Chains A and B, each alone.
Chain A
Amino acid sequence: MTDATANQNPAHGALTTTDARTRRRNAAEARFRLYGQIAIAIGIAALILLLTSVLSNGLSSFRQTFLFLEVTLDEKTLDKSGVRDVEVMKKVTTIGYGKLIEKSLQSAIEEHGITVEGLTDKDVSDMISKEAAALVRNKVLANPDLVGQTVPVKVLANGRIDGYLKGRVTMESAERDSNVSPNQLLLADAMRAEGLLVKSFNWGFITGADASELRPEAAGLGIAIIGSAYMMIVVLFLALPIGVAASIYLEEFAPKNRFTDLIEVNIANLAAVPSIVFGILGLAIFINVAGLPQSAPIVGGLVLTLMTLPTIIISTRAALKAVPPSIRDAALGVGASKMQSIMHHVLPLAMPGILTGTIIGLAQALGETAPLLLIGMVAFVRDFPAAPPEGFFDPAAALPVQVYNWTQRADPAFVERASGAIIVLLIFLLAMNAIAIFLRRKFERRW
């Protein structure tokens, strides 16, 4: 028992009482946890704020106000010759079609017995989007046999009317607005009650081309989505092989000396270069020297490739470094060449990391705006680019640039469109991340 008393160190108290030092340690730990929780709470709050603001502003852009009309495609206006020759029929401009649509709207109003005090003809015709005539014209030119018939059509309503249904335009604002009159809003209410004016899902927003300042209701993301997709294809097919090859060389083959150290430092620096610098570089090299066309996805893709390469190289090298050296030894030990040990063992093990890095790089590139502005992707493009590979050289827009573009326009209807475009962009990013996670799982499951 003498031993037991000798072992009693005065610094150690009884087990059940906590001494001051332990209390301080516990308090520090509790504080640290609190900081962490606060940081995460702030992050989540910011995310929720961002998502609610984008969603509340932008979700409405996926629904659009349409007019349901029975348009009589009068042969006298559309095809005087009566031979249904498309080339001849092309001479009739949208103005001719516009008149027909107006007439059908007028008669629909009469038929349904809608009366609004002091409604002028112009008020009625302005209910219809300027885009409607083009839509009907395209429909007729695609199918000339429709001429002479009365066909049901679904045409876009004017942006202000759409705004009224979405709560953006009110009676008060209409009184001050030269583009819309309170009478039109009353008419809209009446037509809505009769089922002539309906809000429904707007495919045109996703597939359509951009539209001019005056017809926000017709503006769509189609060309921007194609442009962004083309650029991502270019980036993927250039940056992934180049980046992975460069990383493998640097990590596995290159001698370790001053020169490779310098390259390493420069790659790290390149990753931090502001993206607009890459835009200037792209303008100078790809457009001015190489003579590639402006606004083309190929140029955008090349610029974004330059921007993404450092990200891919850095993450690929990290993934290669993380493969245990014993695996390389094992492969070399049974007589595999260096290339075989890399291709058969190291690269498959590094694959999840490489893919994650690549997709993060691609996601960055997808959201990049500044360099694209410099190479002319901000231009207004009405025509869809062709299918690849020619399409890579046709002018196109890009999703983030389209967002930027729309926020610059005066009509508040474009604010809604911009938020809608952000939602589409976010969906693309989510999809890419989902693919990254899926691929990572798939490659990991093999081991």
Chain B
Amino acid sequence: MNDMRLTEKSVEANDTKISARGVQVYYGDTHAIKDVDVDIADQTVTAFIGPSGCGKSTFLRCLNRMNDTIDVCRVEGNIKLDGDDIYDKRVDPVQLRAKVGMVFQKPNPFPKSIYDNVAYGPRIHGLTRSKAELDEVVEKSLRRAALWNEVKDRLQAPGTGLSGGQQQRLCIARAVATSPEVLLMDEPCSALDPIATAQVEELIDELRSRFAVIIVTHSMQQAARVSQRTAFFHLGNLVEFGETGQIFTNPSDPRTESYITGRIG
């Protein structure tokens, strides 16, 4: 815990991008998220930490309505993106997901070429008008995901042929290519080596200038390094939420303290 550089972080007071109030999530009879209130600021990296099974992924998936695809899952409460209720009947989850991109816990590139993986989002949303423009988006996205140098000579090779860490960066490039407003990342670095992790963290820091980024992580150091705000979940409850520096140096809840010092988890 000696690499935390907490004090150097400046936390600007940004506008609220997502505001969640009284969110409850049930998987059948299991109450997975219990009455969570949280405000995600724009142009800020928010880290979700907590022991395994506490509901970090579940809550993350509420924010782009990926939970809709799970039959037994039921979401209650109120989540607003720029003031619009995303669970409103008139909201098309497809449009929502174009604005709220996601990188999954396990790398899941399409079994298509590297190029097609990145180009898929822009293609289906009609974001580019010409092939040249699309090429440019693909290159830019791959560069931002710190993958360009490794794959620039084999863009037509299958994305599934990359190493696990490269695949995850490909997935990040794919998510970035649609230029979302919010980027949800579920343990994006769990399959990466320290160098690639550092690259992705750099990328996250860079993305912050344009998006709100929410990252789920099991690494305290990572949360401390990349995030400005941290939310600590425990057994479905949001125990503590605040500025990262404060959570790590001076947590107000004893559970938070036990977790970050390694006593529960």
CA distance A17 to B125 in the complex (A): 69
B148 at the interface (CB under 8 A from A): no
B104 at the interface (CB under 8 A from A): yes
Residues of A that sit less than 8 Å from B by CB: 255-256, 324, 326-337, 340, 344-345, 349, 447
With both beta carbons as reference points, the residue of chain B lying nearest to A326 in the complex is identified as B108
| Residue pair B97, A256 in contact (C-beta under 8 Å) | no
CA distance A349 to B109 in the complex (A): 13
Cross-interface CB contact of B110 among A335, A337, A345, cutoff 8 Å: A345
| Residue pair A340, B124 in contact (C-beta under 8 Å) | yes
Q: Tell me the minimal C-beta distance from B60 to chain A in angstroms.
A: 11
Which of B132-140, B171-179, B197-205 is the contact stretch? B171-179
CA distance A344 to B121 in the complex (A): 12
CA distance A333 to B171 in the complex (A): 10
| Residue pair B71, A334 in contact (C-beta under 8 Å) | no
| Residue pair A329, B111 in contact (C-beta under 8 Å) | no
Cross-interface CB contact of A330 among B64, B94, B95, B171, cutoff 8 Å: B171
Residues of B that sit less than 8 Å from A by CB: 64, 66, 69, 71, 94-95, 97-98, 101-104, 106, 108-112, 120-121, 124-125, 158, 160, 171, 174-175, 177-178
* Given contact pairs A332-B69, A333-B102, A335-B125, A327 touches B94 in the complex (Cβ within 8 A): no
| Residue pair A333, B106 in contact (C-beta under 8 Å) | no
Having A333-B97, A336-B124, A345-B110, one finds 19 other A-B pairs with CB under 8 Å, namely A324-B108, A326-B104, A327-B108, A327-B110, A330-B110, A330-B171, A332-B66, A333-B104, A334-B98, A334-B121, A334-B178, A335-B97, A335-B101, A336-B120, A337-B94, A344-B120, A349-B111, A447-B158, A447-B160
With both beta carbons as reference points, the residue of chain B lying nearest to A348 in the complex is identified as B111
| Residue pair B64, A331 in contact (C-beta under 8 Å) | no
Interface CB pairs A-B, < 8 A, 12 = A324-B108, A326-B106, A330-B174, A333-B175, A334-B121, A334-B174, A335-B94, A335-B95, A335-B101, A335-B178, A447-B158, A447-B160
Select the residue from A331, A332, A333, A344 with max chain B CB neighbours within 10 A.
Answer: A333
CA distance A333 to B71 in the complex (A): 17
Q: Tell me the minimal C-beta distance from A244 to chain B in angstroms.
A: 20
CA distance A73 to B197 in the complex (A): 94
| Residue pair B121, A335 in contact (C-beta under 8 Å) | yes
| Residue pair A335, B124 in contact (C-beta under 8 Å) | yes
Q: Is the interface of A mostly helix, strand, loop or mixed?
A: helix
- What are the nearest 8 A-B pairs in CB distance? A335-B98, A326-B108, A334-B121, A447-B111, A333-B102, A335-B97, A330-B108, A337-B94
CA distance A349 to B64 in the complex (A): 26
* Given contact pairs A327-B110, A349-B111, A447-B158, A334 touches B66 in the complex (Cβ within 8 A): no
CA distance A186 to B140 in the complex (A): 91
Q: Tell me the minimal C-beta distance from B21 to chain A in angstroms.
A: 25
With both beta carbons as reference points, the residue of chain A lying nearest to B117 in the complex is identified as A330
CA distance A108 to B160 in the complex (A): 76
| Residue pair B69, A331 in contact (C-beta under 8 Å) | no
CA distance A334 to B102 in the complex (A): 7
Select the residue from A255, A329, A334, A336 with max chain B CB neighbours within 10 A.
Answer: A334
CA distance A340 to B120 in the complex (A): 11
| Residue pair A334, B111 in contact (C-beta under 8 Å) | no
CA distance A157 to B121 in the complex (A): 72
With both beta carbons as reference points, the residue of chain A lying nearest to B94 in the complex is identified as A337
With both beta carbons as reference points, the residue of chain B lying nearest to A340 in the complex is identified as B124
Q: Given the complex, which residues of B lie within 8 Å of A329, measured CB to CB?
A: 66, 69, 104, 108
| Residue pair A328, B69 in contact (C-beta under 8 Å) | yes
CA distance A332 to B110 in the complex (A): 12
CA distance A326 to B160 in the complex (A): 13
Q: Given the complex, which residues of A lie within 8 Å of B104, measured CB to CB?
A: 326, 329-330, 333
Q: Given the complex, which residues of A lie within 8 Å of B174, measured CB to CB?
A: 330, 334
CA distance A349 to B177 in the complex (A): 24
Q: Given the complex, which residues of A lie within 8 Å of B94, measured CB to CB?
A: 335-337
Q: Given the complex, which residues of A lie within 8 Å of B120, measured CB to CB?
A: 331, 334, 336, 344
Cross-interface CB contact of A333 among B101, B158, B177, cutoff 8 Å: B101
CA distance A340 to B125 in the complex (A): 11
CA distance A255 to B71 in the complex (A): 8
Q: Given the complex, which residues of B lie within 8 Å of A324, measured CB to CB?
A: 108
CA distance A55 to B174 in the complex (A): 58
With both beta carbons as reference points, the residue of chain B lying nearest to A447 in the complex is identified as B111
Q: Given the complex, which residues of B lie within 8 Å of A340, measured CB to CB?
A: 124
CA distance A331 to B117 in the complex (A): 10
CA distance A333 to B182 in the complex (A): 12
| Residue pair A333, B110 in contact (C-beta under 8 Å) | no
CA distance A94 to B13 in the complex (A): 105
CA distance A344 to B119 in the complex (A): 13
Q: Given the complex, which residues of A lie within 8 Å of B109, measured CB to CB?
A: 330
CA distance A329 to B98 in the complex (A): 13
Q: Given the complex, which residues of B lie within 8 Å of A326, measured CB to CB?
A: 104, 106, 108
| Residue pair A256, B71 in contact (C-beta under 8 Å) | yes
Q: Tell me the minimal C-beta distance from B172 to chain A in angstroms.
A: 12
Q: Given the complex, which residues of B lie within 8 Å of A328, measured CB to CB?
A: 69
Q: Given the complex, which residues of B lie within 8 Å of A335, measured CB to CB?
A: 94-95, 97-98, 101, 121, 124-125, 178
Q: Tell me the minimal C-beta distance from A430 to chain B in angstroms.
A: 31
Q: Given the complex, which residues of A lie within 8 Å of B71, measured CB to CB?
A: 255-256
CA distance A93 to B264 in the complex (A): 103
Q: Given the complex, which residues of A lie within 8 Å of B98, measured CB to CB?
A: 334-335
Q: Given the complex, which residues of B lie within 8 Å of A334, measured CB to CB?
A: 97-98, 101, 120-121, 124, 174-175, 177-178
Q: Tell me the minimal C-beta distance from A345 to chain B in angstroms.
A: 6
Q: Given the complex, which residues of A lie within 8 Å of B125, measured CB to CB?
A: 335
CA distance A256 to B111 in the complex (A): 28
CA distance A329 to B121 in the complex (A): 13
Q: Tell me the minimal C-beta distance from A157 to chain B in angstroms.
A: 61
With both beta carbons as reference points, the residue of chain B lying nearest to A324 in the complex is identified as B108
Cross-interface CB contact of B66 among A333, A349, A447, cutoff 8 Å: A333
CA distance A349 to B121 in the complex (A): 19
With both beta carbons as reference points, the residue of chain B lying nearest to A330 in the complex is identified as B108
CA distance A340 to B92 in the complex (A): 14
Q: Given the complex, which residues of B lie within 8 Å of A330, measured CB to CB?
A: 104, 108-110, 171, 174
CA distance A447 to B109 in the complex (A): 12
Cross-interface CB contact of A332 among B97, B175, B177, cutoff 8 Å: B97
| Residue pair A327, B111 in contact (C-beta under 8 Å) | yes
